[in-house]
Amino acid sequence: MKPFDSESDALPDFIDPADVPARPAPPAASSAPEAGPGPRRRVEWSGQRSANTRGRGGRGTRGGKAGRRRDREPPADNPDTEPDPHEVARTIVLRQLTMAPRSRKQLADKLRQRGCTDEVAAEVLDRMEEVGLIDDAAYAGMLVRSQQASRGLARGALRQELRRKGVDDEIARAQLDEIDEESERERARALADKKLRSMHGLDATVQTRRLAGMLARKGYSPSVAWSVIREAIADAPEHQPD
């Protein structure tokens, strides 16, 4: 007997033809072009996807961890926490004193403008006085000397200036009492001589009137002013007899 030939239609005698499945019919020839392969579905390797996710700031990246850590950490400054009013007041006072000397009254007014309560302001200013950062007597003495040197002010104008700066009347009086009368008269005479040089050629009456107004604005008393004016005009070269 010949071996089983798959290519032949003949079957061996011991095989029942009913037990052999029928061969599928060959596909019919078609004139339509053979369809190509369908669209490929992109299959992404799970490791690649994880890497891409980490690259975009996912869990695996340092940026992602830092972001989550920042989310967990509370902010450095809690806006709900009220600042210490005494510390705020001290900061305001120190900043003002750094810019220029101030009287206690000036500092209290500034604290009130900034919303500090009078109680807090008083406690802070008292402490500043204890350590010597606020001294109205020293401030008044400095103000008197500077206004005498720069503007030639006398007692009357200096008193008004001290009051305007908030210096207590008793402290101001103590400072003004230290002014020497003779030195004040010398300053008045220097002011009169300087003013006369700018009024050369004017009538003596006009000069007298203008000198009196200038010395009055500087705070000199009428007695000192008229005495100085008479001497200054009499000593002026233009009023000397030929």
For 65-98, give the DSSP string.
HHHHHHHHSPPSS-TTSPPPHHHHHHHHHHHHHH
pTM of the model: 0.62
According to the model, what pLDDT value does residue 150 have?
93
According to the model, what pLDDT value does residue 188 have?
96
According to the model, what pLDDT value does residue 1 have?
47
Residues of the chain falling short of pLDDT 50: 1-8, 30-33, 35-36, 43-61, 71, 73-74
Q: Give me the residue label for tokens 């008193």.
A: 159
Identify whether 98 is part of a domain: yes
Tell me, yes or no, whether 120 and 156 share the same domain.
Answer: no
Q: How is residue 192 written in tokens? A: 């009169």
Tell me, yes or no, whether 188 and 175 share the same domain.
Answer: no
According to the model, what pLDDT value does residue 60 have?
46
Domain count across the chain: 3
According to the model, what pLDDT value does residue 201 have?
85
Identify whether 48 is part of a domain: no
Tell me, yes or no, whether 194 and 242 share the same domain.
Answer: yes
Full residue range of the structural domain in which residue 153 is found: 135-179
Identify whether 50 is part of a domain: no
Identify whether 16 is part of a domain: no
